[in-house]
Structures are given as structure tokens and as C-alpha cells.
Amino acid sequence: MGEDGRREVEEAWYYISTSTAELREITKMERIGPHSHIQGLGLDDRLEPRSNSQGMVGQGKARKAAGMVLKMVQEGKIAGRAILFAGPPSTGKTAIALGMAQTLGQDVPFTIIAASEVFSLSMSKTEALTQALRRSIGVRIKEETEVIEGEVVEIQIDRSLTGATKTGKLTIKTTDMETVYDLGTKMIDSLSKEKVLAGDVIAIDKTSGKVTKLGRSFARSRDYDAMGADTRFVQCPEGEVQKRKEVVHTVSLHEIDVINSRTQGFLALFAGDTGEIKPELRNQIDTKVAEWREEGKAEIIPGVLFIDEVHMLDIECFSFLNRALEKELAPLVIMATNRGMSRVRGTKYTSPHGLPEDLLDRILIVSTKEYSPSELEQIVLIRAQEEDAQLGEDTLQTLASVARESNLRYALNLISTANMISKRRKSEKIEVADVKRAYEYFLDLTRSQEWLKGQAGKMIFEEGQQQSDDRMDQS
Ligand SMILES: Nc1ncnc2c1ncn2[C@@H]1O[C@H](COP(=O)(O)OP(=O)(O)O)[C@@H](O)[C@H]1O
Ligand SMILES: [Mg+2]
């Protein structure tokens, strides 16, 4: 890449830095998911697990281990390593991983994939894994940028006849000077989106075009009678209108890849449909990033890649991961599985947790255990609060015993359905009868399997499906 190529990559950061902010906004709007009650690992300063904190109950050893691992990540000591959470279904493996994600700082990347996502039609397995790994490595970039800051004197907008294009002028001043800028359509849109008026004090990032309203100028405080109570008044800035400022962005290697891959463009980040990225491009980007590090412009932040249901990966994926962990730029890889001894996919060999031995060798294993009745009760209660459901007398015990006899996840699902049933009969509380009806409408796995047996010959795809893989560990 020549001088020009380099500028291209640099421009990419600015686009990315705004688009990642928007992406975060989008992911924040999540509905009440099965783990939405988890806000962290619930550990104290000395990494000791509190019995019921941040939505977490029990599983103390695994939570503490998770906390220790995070500490090492934060101190930059553990890149290139791997952890495996192993334990029966519904023992909080995914929940603990999400608790870890919440504990890490805003700019430490944490990527979550289910192993089966790797098998997609649009890209090879190794490309899917490479993308996941590169999503989990952050690059913190320090940068000088030009900022225009001052009080708006006047905004003048001229529309073309069709209204499709707009041009305009922005007059902006400080206590010392006044400057007029020409405006294009994009900038006019940003200004009107922020509802910028004459008398507002604003800042414009010249490279990204981002407009920030800092407040209203004191000088204009008597212009209007009716002004919102929350209007913030600020002094008109002093000095130059245009200033240099240092800013810091964090983007992932994958985001830099996508933005610079000509065929995809940065919109692909939103669609999630990035296709394959050429290895040459990745090499160029890695070289560039290494240069930036040497120049002190960039810092690598190794993040975390969480691969859930990792036994679904096959031997090719495992050897690829093993090699990837040895590279210089590797994140911490956390895996979870509910398999005991089982076949490594793509081979005829059986191995602990369905992972090949060379990978097991470098892994720290953390086990999760079944919950006690009182822990199950507490988790059910936390979920009921999360879903704004009031539990009638004995309902808590009923749900907890379903959790014990069937499984926890099923019992938690019953809260939402029973809640709906109780609301339909205009009750404020979920009573045992509501849980019973939900229990009858929706089968748990054991009853579903019994029902399937009774349906012999009537359903399609029943033969050999389950034997073809080491699945159905509960059967
Ligand atoms: N220790 C815990 N504290 C609070 N909620 C938990 C805990 N463990 C599991 N849960 C909740 O129980 C459900 C099942 O747990 P999950 O993490 O999906 O189990 P696994 O991944 O081990 O199969 C999820 O809704 C999860 O948020
Ligand atoms: Mg899970």
C-alpha cells in the first residue's frame, strides 16, 4: 500500500468509529432475553463470589475462576490462551460468559458465537473462525483531529428545486473571531438532526463530520421566553474557531478488514453479511497496525472470543484454532460444552468433551455443577422480577421443583408463558394453576421425547438423525 493506500485505511477509522457507536446503540435495544438479568459476575473486590449479586446465584467456584481469568485479560497476561467451561445443561455456562462480557471495559471486544454458526454456506469454516477471532482483537488508535468549535451566528440553507440537494453556509464565531463555512448536504442533515439554531454552541469533528451540541450561548439567554428547563447555557468559546484535538477510538481488526475490503464497504457491517475477506488484505492491515504500534499511534487490546457449544466444531476447526492461538495477535478464547467423553467431529476418536487432545493440552478447564434447590429458587425469583411477574403463594416452589426435575431453562421459560396465561384471566399474580397449564401446553425435552416415541412412523426425518452425531446428551 502506498501513501494513498494508507490514507484510505486512515479514513476508514473515522467511518468505523461512528458506525461502531451506532452498532452498540442497536444491540442495546435488546428485548428481555434469557440472560438479561445477568449484569456481571457478582464478585467482590477480592474476586470472592457474593452469594446473590448482579443477577448471579451460586456456581461460586466457576464465577471466581472467571473473575481471575478476566483480571489476567485486563492485565494483558493471557492472550493466546483458552478456557473451557464444562458442565451439564442449564448450569450457567453461557450466563457466566455473559457476566464476564459485562465486566470487561467498554472498549475490550467480546465476541460470542455458537459453534454451529461456523458452518455457513457463504464462507468457509476457517474464514468464519478468522472473522470471529479478528472481531475479538481491538485496536485503540490515538489521533489528532481538527475540531470546529464556536457559537453559531447564522445557518443559511438553499434547497435545489427538487429538494434533493442542499447547499448552505454556516457562520460561527468565538470571542476572538468569526468564520464562514460552506455546507454540503450531509453536513446540513447532521445540523438539522441535532436541531442546531443560531445561538447554539457546537463542536464539529472535521473528519467524521459529527456534530455535537454543547449548549446555548449565555449571550442569547434572554432571546426567548419559552426555553426548556433543561437548556444548558455555556460561554462562547475563546481563541481559534478551528482547533486540533487528540481523540482515541477503538475498533476491531475485523472492522478495519471490512471497511477496507473494496467489494464489501462498511454497510456490510450492519448487514452482518461480509463474505470472505482476502488474506492479502489482512496481511496489509496487520503490517499497517504493527507500524502504527511502533509509531505509538496504536495499541492492541486483546479481547475475548466465546464459542458456545464448542463440541459442534470439527477437527479442521480445532486444528485451525490451535494454530491461531499460537499467533502473536490472538484473543483469549473461552469455550463451553455439556459433553463428557464424546466423539471429536470429523474423526472416529473419542476424547474428553469432544475436543482433540492437542487442544485440551493448552486449555484451562472450569467445571460447572448442578444447582441446589435453594439456588434454583433464587434464580427463578430473579427471573420473575426481570419479567415483572408477581408469583402467588407456592408458585415459586412449584417452578423450583420443575427446575429440579426437568431443567432450569425450561422452568424459566414457564415463567413467561404462565405469566401470559395469568394476565389473560386478569390476575395480577401467577398461580400454581397457571404454571400447570403452561406445563401442559409446552413440553420439556423428556416429555417431548416420550411423545415422539408415541408418534412412531408419523414424523419426517426421524430415522438416524440423532445417532448421526453424538447429540442428545440428555437422552
Ligand atoms: N448462576 C446463575 N445465576 C443466575 N442465573 C443463572 C445462573 N446460571 C444459569 N442461569 C440462568 O439459567 C438459564 C440457563 O443457564 P445457561 O447459562 O443457559 O446454561 P448452560 O449454558 O450451562 O446450558 C439462563 O437463563 C441463565 O441466565
Ligand atoms: Mg449454554
**86, 118 in Cβ contact below 8 A?**
no
* 11, 195, 251 from 191: Cα distances, Å: 22, 6, 26
Q: Where are the alpha helices (DSSP H) in 75-204?
A: 93-103, 125-135, 185-193
CA distance 99 to 334: 13
Q: Relative to the CA of 96, which ligand 1 atom is closest? A: 17
Residue 232 lies in a domain: yes
Please report, for residues 15, 29, 79, 207, the alpha-carbon distance to residue 256 in angstroms, rounded to integers and kept in the order given.
10, 25, 20, 17
- Among 247, 267, 289, give the residue marking a domain's end: 247
C-alpha 377/C-alpha 399 separation (Å) is 8
Evaluate if residue 59 carries a pLDDT over 90. yes
For 45-54, what is the mean pLDDT? Answer: 91
Distance from residue 317's CA to the centre of ligand 2 (Å): 20
Question: Which residue's CA is the nearest one to ligand 1's atom 14?
Answer: 90
229 and 90, same structural domain? no
Q: Are residues 291 and 327 in the same domain?
A: yes
User: Residue 273 — very low, low, confident or very high, per pLDDT cuts 50/70/90?
Assistant: low
Count of structural domains, the chain: 3
For 56, residues 6+ apart whose C-beta sits below 8 A from its C-beta are 38, 40, 41, 42, 49, 50, 63, 92, 95, 96, 99
**CATH number, domain containing residue 14:** 3.40.50.300
pLDDT tens figures, 448-471 = 777 777 777 666 654 544 444 444
Q: Do both 223 and 290 map to the same domain? A: no
Q: Which ligand has the minimum distance to the alpha carbon of residue 309?
A: 2
Contact 141, 292 (CB under 8 A): yes
Sequence-distant contacts of 381-386: CB under 8 A, at least 24 apart: 382/37, 382/52, 382/55, 382/57, 383/37, 383/412, 383/415, 384/415, 384/430, 385/37, 386/32, 386/36, 386/37, 386/55
Please provide the distance, in angstroms rounded to a whole number, between the alpha carbons at the two ends of the chain. Answer: 57
Q: What is the pLDDT of residues 388-412, one digit of tens each?
A: 898 987 999 999 999 998 889 999 9
**45 and 113, same domain (yes or no):** yes
Ion ligand 2 neighbours (CB, 5 A) are: 93-94
Report, as an integer, the average pLDDT of 354-374: 92
Average pLDDT (366-382) is: 94
Q: How remote is the CA of residue 313 from the centroid of ligand 2, in Å? A: 15
460 in a domain, yes or no? no
CA torsion through residues 233, 239, 241, 247, sign: negative
For residue 452, the CA-to-ligand 2 centroid distance in Å is 24
Q: Which ligand is nearest to the CA of 114?
A: 2
What would the pLDDT profile of 114-133 be if each residue is shown by its tens digit? 999 898 777 899 999 999 99
Least distant ligand from the CA of 403? 1
Give residue-wise pLDDT tens across range 218-247: 887 776 655 666 778 899 999 999 988 887
60 alpha carbon – ligand 1 mean position (Å): 13
CA angle 375, 380, 382 (to 5 degrees): 95
Q: Is residue 465 part of a domain?
A: no
Using alpha carbons, list the distances in angstroms from residue 193 to 116, 189, 202. Answer: 41, 6, 13
Domain boundary among 337, 367, 397: 367
Whether 190 and 334 map to the same domain: the answer is no
Q: Are residues 161 and 173 in the same domain?
A: yes
Ligand 1 pocket test target in 408, 412, 445 with most atoms within 8 Å of CB: 408
Give the E-state strand segments of 127-165 in sequence order. 137-159
394 phi-psi bin (left φ>0, alpha ψ -120 to 50, beta other): left
Residue 221 sits in the same domain as residue 275: no
| Lowest-confidence segment of 101-110, 156-165, 278-287, 329-338 by average pLDDT | 156-165
In a domain, 462, yes or no: no
162 and 23 share a domain? Answer: no
Q: Ligand 1: residues whose CB is within 6 Å? A: 34-35, 38, 55-59, 89-95, 336, 379, 408-409, 412
CA of 297 to the centre of ligand 2 (A): 39
- Say if residue 266's pLDDT is above 70: no
Question: Which of 352, 367, 382 represents a domain boundary (last residue)?
Answer: 367
The enclosing domain of 395 has a CATH number of: 1.10.8.60
Answer for the pair 135, 304: CB distance below 8 angstroms, yes or no: no
307 CA distance to ligand 2 centroid (A)?
Answer: 10
- Domain shared by 264 and 229, yes or no: no
User: For residue range 300-344, what is the model confidence (pLDDT) as tens digits?
Assistant: 988 899 999 999 999 999 999 999 998 888 899 999 999 999 999
User: Residue 184 belongs to what domain range?
Assistant: 143-247
Q: What mean pLDDT is reported for the chain?
A: 82
* Pocket perturbation via mutation, ligand 1, pick of 37, 59, 90, 368 by most ligand atoms within 8 A of CB: 90
Let me know whether 301 and 354 are in one domain: yes
Residues 239 and 124 in one domain: no
Q: CATH code at 192? A: 2.40.50.360
Q: Got the DSSP string for 225-288?
A: S---TTPPEEPPPPS-SEEEEEEEEEEEHHHHHHHH-TTT-TTHHHHT------HHHHHHHHHH
Number of the ligand 1 atom closest to the C-alpha atom of 55:
4
The SS3 assignment for 43 reads strand
For residue 469, being part of any structural domain is answered with no
Q: Kindly give the interhelix angle for 3-28 and 279-294, rounded to the nearest 10 degrees.
A: 100
Residue 275 lies in a domain: yes
pLDDT at 78: 66
Residue 113 lies in a domain: yes
Q: Is residue 447 part of a domain?
A: no
Per-residue model confidence (pLDDT) at position 465: 45
User: Residue 60 pLDDT more than 70?
Assistant: yes
For ligand 1, atom 27: residue with the closest CA: 35
CA of 300 to the centre of ligand 1 (A): 32
Q: Ligand 1: which residue has its CA nearest to atom 6?
A: 92
- Nearest ligand to the CA of 87 is 1
Residue with CA nearest ligand 1 atom 3: 56
Side-chain half-sphere exposure of 245, counting CA atoms within 13 A = 16
Residue 19 is classified by DSSP as H
Q: Which ligand is nearest to the CA of 66?
A: 1
Q: Are 161 and 298 contained in the same domain?
A: no
Measured in angstroms, how far is the CA atom of residue 425 from the centroid of ligand 2? 34
CA distances 263 to 10, 259, 267, 275, 319, Å, are 18, 9, 11, 9, 30
> pTM for this structure?
0.72
Atom of ligand 1 nearest to the CA of 88: 22
